[in-house]
Chain A
């Protein structure tokens, strides 16, 4: 009621205001003058109130949802994002009318329900009469101004400017400069009168660089060798040793896997195993170990299948485009295609260009100079690319793969597939037989069920039903169901007698009525079947209902569908055993050699702009092109007419004149070494991203990177040899300079000291295994324990994925929707979005994991065992424990404290026993080792 009064008021007010306005503006208002008086009256009386009532909330008074305003004449005539709203005189061609008619499921207005048909008629009539409309645009209308940067402005934005060639700056403290990088950093520090921190101790340095380059802590022997090496290039030798280690690719390949949102399963709606993703993972690790030039690396991942020298390796690389999370069961194929392209564009943009293209799908970028037309120009390239295969499993579409299987391989796989099918059907047939047995048993006791059902009512709990069923040898769930069935089927004439007798609690009567009936029916049915095995019914109208009730699978004797409910423990465990056998066979079965990859599909030379991102609302087509603001040539690119255009796109992105590619990548390398990028937002070089703290250094590095043939390892050498990398961290109160750097530069943006960094999830896990001598450092191969396209867990939520492998963490399965707990808790990035800079959060569940998880406890126990095997006294063992875990000797005080801890705990046992219990002693050592592994010093790199 209140609502209708207020809307009435609103109408009245709007009406009078409109009259006022039209009176005031009569001179300027041609249309008002032109409107026939009758039409005007029709509009004011009939039309305007409807528009106010149903439309203004979203399309009036400054609100322009969908770009459409309906509170002034030209708003409707010009229309919104979907086009012109009204064609005067042509209701059937006017989108406005189409929307209110509610016939097009993609365009229905108002959104909260169809207006009455009388109201629709009014509006149809209005449009048919030429939509007479006196309303002018209100002058103070706060229509949202166009947002974002223009292309011209964008060309002047720092990240789109050509890469400069800066001079190395002059500095005062020349002795500190070991590499041009130092000069760039020092120049800014000197501007603020800041001094760089002193060089870190050798023990700190070797721990830092070893964890940085190979993701493992240095061994005591490696530390000793470095400390003993007094040659000037001792550190460089360590760096070379580490860069030559295949473990380098394991660590740095993982960085790139963050950027490409690597995972071993699809996640999102249907979590199918990416059983061949590991081949892409190994490709990345190998590429880092071989120092594959980054320009080539980029081209392979975007267009490895189109290269003239395309081969298995380069085709594997295109897995990059397929790895995204997809809504595999999306029934609307066209939507799925556009969503997938969107995911790909977002990944390509973020990974290589530091640009977010995702938000340009629906409208021009709100901040960056990227236009919707740029998006669909790129979209055309990916629309011409096949990411999905033509096959599917039920409603689940298959992603595209390229097979390298030999005929022999395929033949042997057929055999394995048959074996799996056999195992599966063995389980199914066991289940079916058991169900049939239960059915038959229930049928022979049909009368007993009906009698027992009379002993309780529908609200009786199953536990009490069980007490009734058990002594009678009946199945409690069947009996329970039987009672409910009888109640729901009061209308069933066959059970009419039961209800009558039940009301009198006459169980004997029930027996007298139903037993002979069932027996007769059963006998008659068996006899009839002997004559004709195909017989389905009895002709006898008296007996047929009894037969039907007995043989109705969903009747009063229905066997519960859930095996847990139907079967006894023995049958159930046998059924589970058979299921598990089939699952294990399938999980471990090999797949045909095949790689996740894309291929060219039907070439799309152009793609229409999708209005507001909808594939059902198409606008002007745009031809394949590169984003305008990044173009370095005024010549329109030439795309081959027989290819998607990915190769041209990749080559353009990998060219030395591209303003973003090299900047974005060297900034990533910098971030991974220092814990923060020169541009902190590693995946966003746009307006919302951060500005570079050292823009000249960034350009200098980008140039140097390209000059050295896009070599990642050369960048490591350059950066690691600098004084900047070798500074102390946490110098805080030890600063000698007169200016307090904490006040001048609290975030350490200028790098006056090295940043302390927490170990990443994989570093932590691998370090724990390494110091307890449990780590297996073998490389490569399939590690996800699932067959390609097998459900990780479909409806069951049982996750069979195990993480007890002792191989390096990069080889642990990355299961979307259910990450390994340690990964999840220690800020492993969301494997559905490209991530260049992981977070570091500290939450209590991490501490629970350090205190209580089997991984940490078992490793601590192993480390303790190893220590106890060593010669020497307890003090010597404590020293070794510190060297292994923290890479240094304990102080005297630390040693004393540790000893006190061991003796205190062993001593607890001594009170009860004559001598120290060896188990208790080992436990004490394990607790000490666990404490060391859990300490801040272990988990932070200084």
Chain B
């Protein structure tokens, strides 16, 4: 069979089938020269890259998710009034519903210092990240609706804390497709299975190809994290190749009998893609190919930072290969950042685990020119109360908290919005989670009101009926 003929055959199959990691595209089989043609062929492959609504600032996004809720008043949102009124009852009304009983005001155990050219304050918890402050856009007025972990995780990932809805990554995949057809469009590394679990990377009613692909989960170390069934220890690859040829021959026979059939042809192709993925995925995950300097800059040479460092480095390798949405989760066998007590010890430990890896990750993205068109998002499902819980803890606070962005299209060294004097409520330029989502989509070139999917008699959106783009943060 001549190469041309083989190409043609495969193209035909491609046109009539809809399969893939999501759905199949044979870009790699066709070779790079065929990519342009691929791009025009959107209808045949739902995961092919799609035109956004307007020129995007970012082509891809990575979410560094801090599970449990880091305290904003101890990290990026200093409150001198807390020091002043430490130990006194809060001089403002508490919300009608709080997660636990609220105590008196509690000052931050950490000092804040002005950093970088911009002079924005960051606490001692993030000595490495703070070196990048001139690239960070600190969102100080994020607020959600749900004061419990489960609801808040679902809210931040899906926009809804009431119903099962498609996750942000699924919406983005649905809207933009992906750049590398040999890898999943949407990857979540070591996600937590608790508090919403798979719903946080699920598609709900969106097509299955929008589903996030988990690599490991929070109970596994990053070194152990793998895609399910990606390898076969029992069968030598040579034998498996022979077996695949046999399956292909059987399937061809059936096609002879039935004539053209999209489903049957698609399934035939899916085996070929699976076979190739078996080598692609482990290769991307294999960080041993990186230099020891890179390992050191991510903190992979230190047990404290190794795990999160590995996750971040893997994320970079996925991002540079065209994966559209990557999430990295900082979660351990407890609810990582959930310091209802022992604020000082807990937050110290947590920050020390992520600080260096995040700084190394930002540096690396920058050096490789990836930061220009990658949006980095950092944050938890909510912040923590300026009031105390017990003697040395803080409760959940969805009413005002901090997340930050870096990279593509956002202003660096910039603080947006504000909480009140004590850090309980967002008051200025309030940014609801729906607004955050609208803004993220905007940065990716998507109008959040036009990215819709009709299901059960109505058009759904990531932002439901709300969402305002925070244009002030755009560079």
Query: Which residues of A in the span 324-369 have a Cβ within 8 Å of any Cβ on B?
Result: 325, 327-332, 339, 342-343, 350, 356, 358-359, 365-368
Answer whether A847 and B197 are a contact pair too, CB < 8 Å, given A688-B454, A730-B258: no
Contact B332 A562 (CB under 8 A): yes
With both beta carbons as reference points, the residue of chain B lying nearest to A612 in the complex is identified as: B465
Residues of B within 8 A of A850 (CB): 271
Answer whether A268 and B260 are a contact pair too, CB < 8 Å, given A112-B431, A848-B274: no
Query: Which residues of A in the span 888-942 have a Cβ within 8 Å of any Cβ on B?
Result: 894, 897-898, 901, 904-905, 923, 927-928, 930-932, 934-937, 939-940
Contact A331 B457 (CB under 8 A): no
Stretch at the interface among A400-408, A768-776, A815-823: A815-823
- Distance in angstroms from B355 CB to nearest chain A CB is 11
Tell me which of A331, A367, A561, A817 contacts B193 (CB under 8 A). A817
Interface string of B363-392 (1 = CB under 8 A from A): 000000000000000000000000000001
For residue B198, CB closer than 8 A to chain A, the reply is yes
Interface string of A111-139 (1 = CB under 8 A from B): 11110000000000000000000000000
- Report the bound CA distance from A400 to B168 in whole Å: 33
For residue B320, CB closer than 8 A to chain A, the reply is no
Residues of A in contact (CB 8 Å), total 107
Residues of B within 8 A of A898 (CB): 246
Answer whether A756 and B198 are a contact pair too, CB < 8 Å, given A268-B164, A327-B150, A818-B193: no
- Report the bound CA distance from A794 to B192 in whole Å: 10
Contact B195 A365 (CB under 8 A): no
Contact A930 B243 (CB under 8 A): yes
Contact B301 A463 (CB under 8 A): yes
Interface string of A713-748 (1 = CB under 8 A from B): 000000000000000001011000000000000000
Contact B264 A851 (CB under 8 A): no
For residue A418, CB closer than 8 A to chain B, the reply is no
For residue A844, CB closer than 8 A to chain B, the reply is yes
Residues of B within 8 A of A930 (CB): 243
For residue A551, CB closer than 8 A to chain B, the reply is no
Stretch at the interface among A180-188, A505-513, A644-652, A834-842: A834-842
- Distance in angstroms from B23 CB to nearest chain A CB is 7
- Report the bound CA distance from A845 to B321 in whole Å: 20
For residue A105, CB closer than 8 A to chain B, the reply is yes
Answer whether A797 and B192 are a contact pair too, CB < 8 Å, given A358-B456, A359-B458: yes
Contact A833 B164 (CB under 8 A): yes
With both beta carbons as reference points, the residue of chain B lying nearest to A480 in the complex is identified as: B304
For residue A8, CB closer than 8 A to chain B, the reply is no
With both beta carbons as reference points, the residue of chain B lying nearest to A898 in the complex is identified as: B246
- Report the bound CA distance from A796 to B336 in whole Å: 10
Stretch at the interface among B35-43, B58-66, B202-210: B202-210
For residue A461, CB closer than 8 A to chain B, the reply is yes
Residues of A within 8 A of B164 (CB): 268, 325, 830, 832-833
- Distance in angstroms from A550 CB to nearest chain B CB is 17
Contact B247 A934 (CB under 8 A): yes
Residues of B in contact (CB 8 Å), total 120
For residue A558, CB closer than 8 A to chain B, the reply is yes
Residues of B within 8 A of A927 (CB): 235, 239, 242-243, 246
- Distance in angstroms from B107 CB to nearest chain A CB is 13
- Report the bound CA distance from A830 to B202 in whole Å: 10
For residue B144, CB closer than 8 A to chain A, the reply is no
- Report the bound CA distance from A824 to B258 in whole Å: 29
For residue A255, CB closer than 8 A to chain B, the reply is no
- Report the bound CA distance from A684 to B455 in whole Å: 10
Contact A827 B457 (CB under 8 A): no
For residue B303, CB closer than 8 A to chain A, the reply is yes
- Report the bound CA distance from A139 to B49 in whole Å: 43
Contact A849 B303 (CB under 8 A): no
Interface string of B207-227 (1 = CB under 8 A from A): 111000100011100000001
For residue B24, CB closer than 8 A to chain A, the reply is yes
Contact B457 A844 (CB under 8 A): no
Answer whether A935 and B251 are a contact pair too, CB < 8 Å, given A686-B457, A793-B193, A844-B24: yes
Interface string of B227-241 (1 = CB under 8 A from A): 111111011000110
Contact B19 A842 (CB under 8 A): yes
- Report the bound CA distance from A936 to B242 in whole Å: 17
Q: For B110, B147, B429, which residue has the most chain A Cβ atoms within 10 angstroms?
A: B147
- Distance in angstroms from A272 CB to nearest chain B CB is 11
Query: Which residues of B in the span 284-339 have a Cβ within 8 Å of any Cβ on A?
Result: 299, 301-305, 331-335
How many residue pairs between the two chains, A and B, have CB atoms under 8 Å in the bound complex?
A: 300
For residue B473, CB closer than 8 A to chain A, the reply is no
For residue A484, CB closer than 8 A to chain B, the reply is yes
Residues of A within 8 A of B23 (CB): 841-843
For residue B475, CB closer than 8 A to chain A, the reply is no
Answer whether A937 and B250 are a contact pair too, CB < 8 Å, given A269-B151, A852-B232, A905-B239: yes
For residue B474, CB closer than 8 A to chain A, the reply is no
Residues of A within 8 A of B153 (CB): 269
Tell me which of A827, A842, A940 contacts B270 (CB under 8 A). A842
Answer whether A105 and B96 are a contact pair too, CB < 8 Å, given A730-B261, A851-B229: yes
With both beta carbons as reference points, the residue of chain B lying nearest to A840 in the complex is identified as: B263
Contact A931 B204 (CB under 8 A): no
Contact B196 A269 (CB under 8 A): yes
- Distance in angstroms from A843 CB to nearest chain B CB is 6
- Report the bound CA distance from A86 to B244 in whole Å: 73
With both beta carbons as reference points, the residue of chain A lying nearest to B246 in the complex is identified as: A931
Answer whether A331 and B148 are a contact pair too, CB < 8 Å, given A461-B304, A462-B303: yes
Residues of A within 8 A of B273 (CB): 844, 847
For residue B344, CB closer than 8 A to chain A, the reply is yes
For residue A267, CB closer than 8 A to chain B, the reply is yes
Interface string of A565-586 (1 = CB under 8 A from B): 0000000000000000000000
For residue B179, CB closer than 8 A to chain A, the reply is no
Residues of A within 8 A of B250 (CB): 894, 931-932, 935-937
Answer whether A327 and B274 are a contact pair too, CB < 8 Å, given A112-B430, A842-B263: no
For residue B10, CB closer than 8 A to chain A, the reply is no
- Distance in angstroms from A325 CB to nearest chain B CB is 7
Answer whether A845 and B228 are a contact pair too, CB < 8 Å, given A488-B348, A818-B198, A904-B242: yes
Residues of B within 8 A of A488 (CB): 109-110, 124, 344, 348
Residues of A within 8 A of B228 (CB): 821, 845, 848-849
For residue A763, CB closer than 8 A to chain B, the reply is no
- Report the bound CA distance from A827 to B250 in whole Å: 24
Residues of A within 8 A of B21 (CB): 843-845
- Distance in angstroms from A852 CB to nearest chain B CB is 4
With both beta carbons as reference points, the residue of chain A lying nearest to B110 in the complex is identified as: A488
Tell me which of A356, A561, A932, A939 contacts B456 (CB under 8 A). A356
- Distance in angstroms from B295 CB to nearest chain A CB is 11
Residues of A within 8 A of B202 (CB): 830
- Report the bound CA distance from A332 to B161 in whole Å: 12
Complex A-B: 12 CB contacts under 8 Å: A105-B95, A268-B154, A330-B148, A343-B163, A358-B163, A564-B333, A797-B333, A798-B219, A841-B207, A844-B21, A844-B24, A857-B234
Interface residues of B, Cβ cutoff 8 Å to A: 17-24, 95-99, 109-110, 124, 127, 141, 146-151, 153-154, 161-164, 192-199, 202, 204-205, 207-209, 213, 217-219, 227-232, 234-235, 239-240, 242-244, 246-247, 249-251, 253-254, 257-261, 263-264, 266-268, 270-271, 273-275, 277-278, 299, 301-305, 331-335, 342, 344-346, 348-349, 352, 392, 417, 426-432, 435, 454, 456-458, 465, 468, 472
Q: Which 3 pairs of residues, A with B, have the shortest CB-CB distance?
A: A269-B150, A817-B197, A461-B302
Interface residues of A, Cβ cutoff 8 Å to B: 3, 65, 105, 111-114, 267-271, 325, 327-332, 339, 342-343, 350, 356, 358-359, 365-368, 395, 459, 461-463, 466, 480, 484, 488, 554, 558, 560-562, 564, 683-684, 686-689, 730, 732-733, 756, 758, 793-799, 816-819, 821, 824, 827, 830, 832-833, 839-853, 857, 894, 897-898, 901, 904-905, 923, 927-928, 930-932, 934-937, 939-940
Name 7 extra pairs, CB < 8 A, besides A327-B151, A848-B274: A269-B149, A343-B163, A350-B456, A796-B218, A797-B193, A798-B333, A799-B193
